[in-house]
Amino acid sequence: GAALMVLIGLGAIYGGTGYHIGTLGHMGPGFFPAALGGLLALTGLLIAMSARSSGGDEAEAPVEGHPHGLPDLRGGICILLGILAFLLLGHYGGLLPATFAIVFISALGDRTNTIKQALLLSVGMSVIAVVVFWWALQLQLPLFRWG
């Protein structure tokens, strides 16, 4: 998996160099794919290094899922429901309720999270979303929208 990430990252860097990259002050169309490709390749290298240093003791790792062998679908279902809630609330409710909903519902997919932890995480991420997307980037999605 790590090698695939490195290859895709290097491919994105190569594809980005076909366009004008520019500088940080005046980014060209090739800057974004080249930068993301570099980050992806770096992430792949870090994953490969961590996998190599862990020794590969996968046989001792506990098996996820239910005791009777069925897979645990709670996480995937909560993430899908969170995305659907974000779509609906982003359109009808605004950025703040949509962000709160996606984080809260998705956090409930982890069985180790409590309602209080999911609530605190949702509030924190909502504050970050308001600061980054609404205030700093001035995203054209209102904080609240009724209807």
**Digit-coded pLDDT (tens) for 105-141:** 999 999 899 999 999 999 999 999 999 998 888 888 8
Q: What is the mean pLDDT of residues 20-25?
A: 84
- pLDDT of 138 reads 86
Residue 40 to residue 37: CA distance in whole angstroms? 5
Confidence tier at 46 by pLDDT (50, 70, 90): very high
Question: N- to C-terminal Cα distance for the chain?
Answer: 44
What DSSP string runs through 22-50?
B-SSSB-TTHHHHHHHHHHHHHHHHHHHH
Residue that has been written with the tokens 């980054």 in this structure: 132
The yes-or-no verdict on residue 65 having pLDDT over 70 is: no
Nearest to 121 by CA among 103, 96, 108, 99: 103
Measured from the Cβ of residue 5, the count of other Cβ atoms closer than 10 Å reads 18
- Whether the CB-CB separation of 145 and 134 falls below 8 Å is answered with no
- pLDDT of 25 reads 82
For residues 51 and 115, which has the higher predicted lDDT (pLDDT)? 115
Q: What is the mean pLDDT of residues 46-73?
A: 70
Q: What angle do CA 64, 74, 48 make, to 5 degrees?
A: 50
Q: Cα–Cα distances in Å, from 146 out to 52, 88, 90, 141?
A: 52, 12, 11, 13
